Amino acid sequence: MQNLATSNKKVGLVLSGGGIRGMAHIGLLKAMQERNVEAHEIAGASVGALIGALYANGNSTDEMLQFFKDTPLFQYNYFAIGKPGLIDTTKFASVFQKHFSINSFESLTKPLYVVATDLMNGKEKVFTKGELILPLLASAALSPVFSPVEVNSILYADGGIMNNFPKEYLEKNCELIIGSNVSINGTLEKKHLRNSFQLTGRITGLMIYASCREKIGECDVLIEPQELEHIGMLDKKDIDKAYTIGYDRACWALDKSLN
């Protein structure tokens, strides 16, 4: 592991998907800020892409937390009609416009790589330029809860399906990689596998983690808090809890690298 305190090398930041667990990413950003560690480029999937965009947009960590607290999830007027999924993802565009007044990647202060899943061609797509909001919505469109998002006549869904830890997009320009993986798959007790929903979530999580395990282990600094395991993907009441877990773990990991 290279020492962040003595390095002048470019730092890349990888932020995984993971729903509300992704608030741990914001805890990492707070810990980085306190230690004067800055990322030069960011790659993210799903909630990681959203937080990466807010970071590249210059938003404070308090503003990021408030964004997720204020954004509605299951209001009746957000329900999908005539679309697959329970929630119409595109209805969140107006919420995003309040935070990204200039709707373009070029308006951001840092390069950002947003990964989404091309449902029609069965492959991943990375967005890096042009319109910003629709790719962000697409990357976070967790199936089957949120409807796919159409961008240039292609339907896209959650980036984590194909690539939940898009570290490779940073390797060309960044020499140090900080990774935050919140799609944790530690040990579960039988009581957490009692129904089809829990079983499906567990299997999906294991498949996603297995595809990214090698990349995760290659990071120079990694936070992967096991305490996030029992936080629900869409459970907004645990926003502060996930943030605190991420902050505490990041402080430990960064201090270990800085010393």
Provide the percentage of residues in the chain whose pLDDT is more than 70. 87
pLDDT of 257 reads 87
DSSP 171: T
Which residue(s) pair with 156 in the sheet? Answer: 118, 149
Residue bearing tokens 């309040």:
98
pLDDT at 135 over 80: yes
Two structure tokens written together for 72: 């509605």
Under the banding of pLDDT at 50, 70 and 90, the label for residue 204 is low
Taken in order 156, 18, 223, 212, the sign of the CA dihedral is negative
pLDDT at 205 over 80: no
Determine which one of 16, 46, 139, 257 is catalytic: 46
Under the banding of pLDDT at 50, 70 and 90, the label for residue 140 is very high
Helix axes 23-34, 239-258, angle to 10 degrees: 40
Mean pLDDT of 120-148: 94
Give the type of residue at 191: K
Determine which one of 158, 183, 238, 257 is catalytic: 158
pLDDT at 141 over 50: yes
What is the distance of C-alpha 125 from the center of its chain?
15
Q: What is the pLDDT of residues 39-65, one digit of tens each?
A: 999 999 999 999 999 999 999 999 999
Mean pLDDT of 120-145: 95
Decide: helix, strand or coil at residue 49: helix
Taken in order 13, 140, 53, 25, the sign of the CA dihedral is negative
Total-model pTM:
0.90
Q: Does the active-site annotation cover 158?
A: yes
pLDDT at 2 over 60: no
Instruction: Kindly provide the b/e burial profile for residues 198-234, where b requires at least 16 CB atoms within 10 angstroms of the residue's own CB.
Output: eeeeeeebeebbeebeebbeebbbbbbbebbeebebe
In DSSP notation, 173-233 reads T-SEEEEE---------GGGS-SHHHHHHHHHHHHHHHHHHHHHHT-SEEE--GGGGGS-T
Mean pLDDT of 163-179: 96
pLDDT of 1 reads 41
Q: Which residues have CB under 8 Å from 4's CB, separation 6+?
A: 11, 35, 37, 176, 220, 221, 254, 257, 258
Q: Does the active-site annotation cover 107?
A: no
Under the banding of pLDDT at 50, 70 and 90, the label for residue 203 is low
Mean pLDDT of 181-205: 69
